[in-house]
Structure 1
Amino acid sequence: MSRIPESVQFHLETDMVIDITTTGRRTGLPRRIEIWAHYMRGKIFIASRPGKRSWHSNMISNKNFMIHFKGTLPTNLPAIARPVFDKSEREEIFGIIRQETSFEERKNMVVNEWVEMGCLVEATLK
């Protein structure tokens, strides 16, 4: 596991908005979207509300992706996705996100719904 640079930690702690580029599972083409990331307890998590998401399906198919930091830290960093499927691990991570986030929607999440149907990935920088 690659150590997360302090500049990246700072960006995630203060902004949390990143872009990611995944590889389309059907087309093989790059797919870039804006998404919220969470830097919690030394790890980077990418999560979205309950429902199917193309970015998540793409990461299940191809774990290599790119994280794009914007604004004060215009940097592109390669990463590896680890989709989180284990129910107890999902409960723990979504619980931590709910407790520690500054993102209002996440503070009000119903953890059980997110555990059952939300998308969750741990990102490790290469």
Structure 2
Amino acid sequence: MTDEVRQALDRQRTVEITTVGRRSGQPRRIETWRYVAAGRYWLTGSPGARDWYANLVAHPGFTLHLDGHDLRVRGRVVTDPDERARVFGEIVPALDWAGSLASWTAGSPLVEIELD
């Protein structure tokens, strides 16, 4: 990954991703938020079901779109309760609108963006 791409990833909180539909097999592009915790990059959202998450569970490879760069990456779905608690423990307190840490840990999708 070039320095230019790394800088775009570091500064761009709102990102677009293209996943592969779990049932359709078709590309699905959406806008979502990127977070940083434990020195790594994550996708998550407030508690609830997300189609993009279900797509990544079925097909972990996806495209991360950053300032004119399209990166092929992998999503590592995080289900381990201890890891989820650690990561959300860094993300949620910084979000004044987020609600409780417990609700995020219990009900939010969590995917690590695995870069090459």
TM-score (structure 2 length as normaliser): 0.89
Q: Aligned to 2:70, which of 71, 76, 90?
A: 76
Which residue is 1:28 aligned to? 25
In structure 2, what is the equivalent of residue 87 of structure 1?
81
Q: Does 2:107 match 1:124? A: no
- Aligned partner of 1:112 in structure 2 is 102
Paired residue for 1:49?
Answer: 46
Pairwise CA distance, 1:54: 0.4
For 1:41 and 1:53, locate their aligned partners in 2 and report how far apart those are by CA, in whole Å.
Answer: 24
The offset of 1:16, in angstroms, is: 0.5
Q: How many residues are treated as equivalent by the alignment?
A: 116
Please list every run of 5 or more consecutive structure 2 residues that lacks an aligned counterpart in the other structure.
none
Instruction: Determine if the alignment matches structure 1 residue 67 to structure 2 residue 97.
Output: no
C-alpha RMSD of the superposition: 1.8
Shift of 1:15: 2.9
1:119, 1:49 → 2: CA distance? 8
Contact preservation (8 Å) 1:12, 1:38: no
Q: Percent identity?
A: 32
User: Could you report, residue by residue, the CA deviation over 1:18-73 in whole angstroms, capped at 9, with x for unpaired residues?
Assistant: 0000000000000000000013343110001111100000000011000001xxx3
Letter in 1 for 2:46: R
Distance apart, 1:6 and its partner CA: 3.6
